[in-house]
Amino acid sequence: MKKILVTGGGGYIGSSVVDILIERGFHPVVFDTFFWGKEGIAFQDNKITVIEGDVRNSRDLIYALQETEGVIHLAGIVGAPACDKNPLAHYTTNVESTHTLVNCMTDPEIGLVRDLIFCSSCSVYGNVNGLFDKVDEGSQTMPLSSYADGKLRAESIIMEKAKQVPHFSPTILRLTTIFGWSLRPRLDLVTNLFVYKALKDKKITIHGDGMQYRSLIHVRDVARALVDALQAPRYVRDRQIFHVGEETNNVTVRDLAELVKKYLPETEIEYQQVEDSDRRDYRITCQKIKNRLNWQAEYSVEQGIQELIEKLQSGTIDLEGPQYRNNNFDYR
């Protein structure tokens, strides 16, 4: 059975990736510091190998890479607020460790692991509303945060290594903003946060007029895209960048709040006349992944909202638990 290393495999996206890899007959090697605990992989028993390790540590990585045939790299400090709060950990984890990983994967002494799927972000485009109607993979990048800047730097480290090592075959997936329920839930992402606030306070607060666009994608669609990319023939995806998103999920923050209200009608939507600290504004095209990988999203935002309401109302998790929010975490 093929072993696939999933860094960050205990996280929001990673736990769904692990699930899909098992379904497709792979043996996932879950490599993670487990900042959020092991809840996300709790029911996988002997179908996975679990390695508690740090991507900043080459010894941990070399050990984890033994006998693996591909890597899905998700480990990181996620989102602008968390990176701003932990600048050193952000740099060492999100940028510097990319060097460590690609060096370990391509070191002739260790044995070449050819296939890398790297999880980047559409945040790299920043605020391009008014400049481009829609952005594609070749559009100009204008990162507005250290998080987005770190993603671009990591991409470039990976692509540089591919120029030096001909058989190294990386693929970069730039994800749109994710929503939905996973085995390790997150309540700090805009859709999930709106549902949580609507349930808890019966109120959603929007900073500004809410006309800024977000491109959204369900977490299980993202996980499937990552595994599909890994399984795609190399000639289709080698050294390519793909957006992972769905154009019908390009919505304004205002529309998103209204969608939540449709299912929780008692919700009040409040507009605060303060500038939104998150100035991202872009609409993404997703034709390349459709054409080249024959990939299509399966979940709509409405389906994701309905599922979230059901899960959050079921009492399965402590809604106030700090482990469901990345933004305030103190990373080391």
Ligand X SMILES: NC(=O)c1ccc[n+]([C@@H]2O[C@H](COP(=O)([O-])OP(=O)(O)OC[C@H]3O[C@@H](n4cnc5c(N)ncnc54)[C@H](O)[C@@H]3O)[C@@H](O)[C@H]2O)c1
- Our finding on whether 74 is near ligand X (CB under 6 A) is yes
Comparing CA positions, the residue from 10, 222, 252, 11 lying closest to residue 121 is: 222
In the range 252-281, which residues lie near ligand X by CB under 6 A?
Answer: none
Q: How many helices (H) and strands (E) does the chain have?
A: 12, 12
Nearer to ligand X, 4 or 74 (CB): 74
Could you say which residues in the range 92-121 bind ligand X, by CB under 6 A? 93, 119, 121
Smallest gap from Cβ 137 to ligand X, in A, equals: 15
Residue 100 CB, shortest distance to ligand X, in Å, is 10
Number of residues that bind ligand X (CB under 6 A): 30
CB of 9 or CB of 26, closer to ligand X: 9
Query: How long is the chain?
Result: 332
10 near ligand X (CB under 6 A): yes
C-beta of 56 vs 99, nearer to ligand X: 56
181 binds ligand X, rule: CB under 6 A: no
Shortest distance (Å) from residue 183 CB to ligand X? 10
CA dist 327 and 231 (Å) reads: 33
Which span (11-19, 162-170, 284-292, 305-313) binds ligand X, by CB under 6 A?
11-19
Provide the 3-class DSSP secondary structure of residue 229. Answer: helix
User: Is 44 one of the binding residues for ligand X (CB under 6 A)?
Assistant: no
124 binds ligand X (CB under 6 A): no
**Out of 5, 18, 48, 55, which residue is the one contacting ligand X (CB under 6 A)?**
55
Q: How far apart are CA 271 and CA 204, in angstroms?
A: 9
Q: Does 189 bind ligand X (CB under 6 A)?
A: yes
Given 100, 171, 192, 326, the residue binding ligand X (CB under 6 A)? 326
The backbone torsions φ and ψ at residue 230, rounded to the nearest 5 degrees and listed phi first, read -60, -35
213 Cα distance to chain centroid? 18
Bridge partners (DSSP) listed for residue 132: 129
The region of 51-59, 261-269, 272-280, 291-299 touching ligand X under the rule CB under 6 A is: 51-59
Query: Alpha-carbon distance 263 to 258, whole Å?
Result: 9
Report the half-sphere exposure of 282 (CA within 13 A, side-chain side): 30
- Secondary structure of 60-117 as H, E, C letters: HHHHHHCCCCCEEECCCCCCHHHHHHCHHHHHHHHHHHHHHHHHHHHCCCCCCCCEEE
Contact residues toward ligand X (CB under 6 A) are 7-8, 10-14, 32-36, 54-56, 74-78, 93, 119, 121, 175, 177-178, 184, 186, 189, 326
